Structure 1
Amino acid sequence: MFTSLLYNENTPLRFINSADHILNIIQMDIIKSIKNLLLFIPALTLLLLGSCKHEDLQITKENENFRLATDFIKNNYELTLFSAALEKSGMAEQLRGKGPFTLLVPNNTAFNEIGIHTAADFNKMNTDSLKELVKRHILDQRLLFNDVPVNGVDIRYHTLAGTEVYASLASYSPNNNGYPANYLYFNGSSVTRNNVTVANGVIHVLNKVMKYTPASTVQSWLAKSPQYSIFVSGLKKFGLWDKLSGTGPFTVFAPQNKIFEASNITAASIAGMDTAAYVGERLFGSYILNNKHFFISDFNVFSIINLESGYTKQLNNDTWYMTIGSVRDYYTAALTYSVSLRTAFDYPYDSYPGASGLLPALTDNLTDNGLVHDIQGLLLLPQQALKH
């Protein structure tokens, strides 16, 4: 083609010959290059195969460039109190091991809410108790966010303390194609940062310290909490106390003494009540969910996956109903809740103002047979529970 482009009837012969000569040179160079490449490929193949036989060849190990869990926590400004707890409890050395571990790490604000503001505050705690608290925040496996079942409620995972934590993941309603919420909770504590990969596992940051009293019941927990003594008096007066030491589970909403006193209700006034004149299941039984094991986060989970504004349950041995709703703060992921009573499930019915749980640090007190949540208000006054 090159020759034909150069040639026409007026083209001198010497130009045609020159073009043919150039074409021959180009063709020879191409053929020579191909021959050299073919000779080089076997040699390169042998070189690569030979290099694969080196026994000292090392493959980069997974996560070898990540820091250990203890190092990451120590150098993260919002996790310094948990780092201090690791050192004080003697757990830091174990967490420098191979693992894998999953650390559920409360941030500094979470510790502040239960009265721990500096590392020195851990000195007030028994070392063994602190160690158990730390171990209850560590799983003996690597658990990623995507490992928790979607819309799973209270999925149990084993901890280094030999206990279990309950994980719930509220993603979306099967009947709703909206953007998934993907709220993850452990024992009612919100995960504010998930899947922080470290060399020996993974970290999830919590906004609340998980609370558990070993070898306890709802009854024994309340008995050891003097701020609820008037509530306990009412439970005893109306025959609701003894069952709280049983198998359960129970979910209890407990008003403190100051709440009762604000309405002129004391242990003495309760002692003087005529139980035959009141509906005890309304006056004090309404604070107890029988055969239910609910963290406050569960009510938020239900609202997402069931598209319900609240959880409604009939009172035990009564015609009245209670409704429980939970609200999650957009910025802090803190959960608050409210409880109210009404006279029937469907309209028409009478309703009562109810009470709220506005202090997340006082909720989700886990025992072996249920949970206790602090509530700032009374569900019903004595005169509203009178029999007619």
Structure 2
Amino acid sequence: MKNRKPIRNLLLLIPALLMLLFSACKHDDLEIAKPNENFRLATDFVKNNYDLTLFSAAVEKSGMAETLRGKGPFTLLAPSNSAFNEIGITKASDFDKMNTDSLKAMVQRHVLDQQLTFNQVPVNGVDIRYHTLAGTDVYATLASYAPNNSAYPANNLYFNGSSVTRKDVSIANGIVHVLNKVMKVTPESTVQDWLAKRPQYSIFVSGLKKFGFWNKLSGTGPFTVFAPQNSVFEANGITEASVTTLDPAVYQGERLFGSYILNGKHFFISDFNVFYIINNEPTYSGQLENDSWYFIISSERNFYTAAVSYSAHLQTALSYPYDTYPAVTAIPALTDNLTDNGLVHDMQGLLLLPEQALKH
């Protein structure tokens, strides 16, 4: 009976001794690290990200996979799958229809040759240029806050008018920002070239030629053009044949066709929303060239998708009394077509009908 207590105490010590033994035998270099996306190179990151599978397919099919496994650093401006869906690309095989060089250039235009974090973009900076692997520039805009409302920053970041929906994802050789739209760039091309190559805008082009606005669109610019498609004109009873019969001596050309052109302006649709945030200007007003009327435009950002749409109309004056004409809108996926001398935005309506542009 006298020895039971020491034996019991010894039994109680055994678990503690075993824990010390196992602890002493632990080797950190034998532990298996948990998978972490931030350790992946750019190519491998997009390949393993469900929402970027189409961009990954573009990277592979364009021959850019090995480049993006390189040292970098890179900044990937990676369009989401839904961004590609908007322009009709729903599966990887859709890229097979594209010219390989064109596809490669498209991928390269979505990669900066430096690491650019959100905090490195100037606060309230508009159209800050950064260089891409394609040798082109991309325009970054960060709408942070109005000067009198710094307590509640919006922090809306855009590249070429495309909204950043996920920012500053660190990877082994750079940074990834996810975009809600594919950036549409046509290098070595003018606004005139862009319109001429797309037959769905032929009625609009005929009107620009008829009233003397066509030739200048090949010039230095910049120009911001809002272009209605043929279907829009036809829905209003206007055809290419009927446009050719319009007499410039009878109609106000600046209002009928010139109103679709902002001269000397380089505006992505997102810029109008940015102006609202940083300057508290809900609309942009531009006076028509050689005319007393005004082009009025405002834009709105969808809280859930970050898509930016616009509404525009003509107004006979800035201050009351004035007359306004019905507003027209756009499909966000068809806006922000960048060329060397400006931008083209698709417009889902007409600013003015011929009978409303008669000279009196």
Same fold by TM (over 0.5)?
A: yes
The counterpart of 1:381, out of the listed 342, 353, 356, is 353
Q: Percent identity?
A: 76
Query: 1:274: Cα distance to partner?
Result: 1.2
TM-score w.r.t. structure 2 length? 0.89
2:127 pairs with 1:154 = yes
Cα distance in structure 2, aligned partners of 1:303 and 1:356: 18
Supply the distance in 2 between the matched residues of 1:266 and 1:141 (Cα, whole angstroms).
49
Task: Map Cα deviations across residues 66-85 of structure 1 (whole Å, 9 max, x no partner).
Answer: 21111111111000000011
The TM-score, its normalising length taken from structure 1, stands at 0.83
Residue 306 (structure 2) aligned to one of 333, 338, 352: 333
Measured after TM superposition, the shift of residue 347 of structure 1 is 1.0
Amino acid at match of 1:321: Y
Task: Tell me which residue corresponds to 1:365.
Answer: 337
Conserved 8 A contact 1:157-1:166: yes
Q: What pairs with 1:1-388 in structure 2 (closer than 5 Å)?
A: 66-357=39-330, 359-388=331-360
Structure 2: which amino acid aligns with 1:285? G
SS in 1 for 2:303: coil
Task: Tell me, in whole angstroms, the C-alpha distance in 2 between the residues paired with 1:225 and 1:189.
Answer: 22
d(CA) in 2 for partners of 1:305 and 1:230?
37
SS of the equivalent of 2:249 reads helix
- Please give the alpha-carbon distance, in whole angstroms, between the structure 1 residues aligned to 2:38 and 2:140: 29
Instruction: List per-residue Cα deviations over 1:235-282 (Å, max 9, x = no partner).
Output: 000000000000000000000001000111111111111111111000
Q: Is the 8 A contact 2:59 2:65 kept in 1?
A: yes
Structure-2 residue corresponding to 1:20: none
CA contact under 8 A between 2:37 and 2:171: conserved in structure 1? no
Q: 1:222 to 1:110 in 2, by over 3 A?
A: same
Greater Rg over alpha carbons, structure? 1
- Tell me by how many angstroms 1:139 deviates: 0.3
Contact persistence 1:340–1:352 (CA under 8 A): yes
| Closer, same or farther: CA 140–177 of 1 in aligned 2, 3 Å | closer
Cα offset for 1:214? 1.6
CA distance in 2, matches of 1:262, 1:236: 21
Shift of 1:65: 6.5
Q: Residues 344, 65 of structure 1: CA spacing in aligned structure 2 closer, same or farther, 3 A cutoff?
A: closer
Give the whole-Å Cα distance in 2 for the aligned partners of 1:253 and 1:101: 34
Alpha-carbon shift at residue 360 of structure 1 (Å): 1.2
1:271/1:141 Cα in 2 relative to 1: closer, same or farther (>3 Å)? Answer: same
CA RMSD of aligned residues (A): 1.1
CA contact (8 A) 1:230 1:266 kept: yes
The 10-residue stretch of structure 1 (128-137 or 176-185) with the greater mean CA deviation from structure 2:
176-185
Tell me, in whole angstroms, the C-alpha distance in 2 between the residues paired with 1:178 and 1:373: 34
CA distance in 1: counterparts of 2:150 and 2:129, whole angstroms: 28
Q: Secondary structure at the match of 1:277?
A: coil
Describe the SS at the equivalent of 2:273: helix
Secondary structure, counterpart of 1:202 in structure 2? strand
Alpha-carbon distance, 1:177 to partner: 3.6
CA, structure 1 residues 262+65, in 2 after alignment: closer, same or farther (shift >3 Å)?
Answer: closer
What's 1:50 paired with? none
Tell me if structure 2 keeps the 8 A contact 1:218–1:250: yes
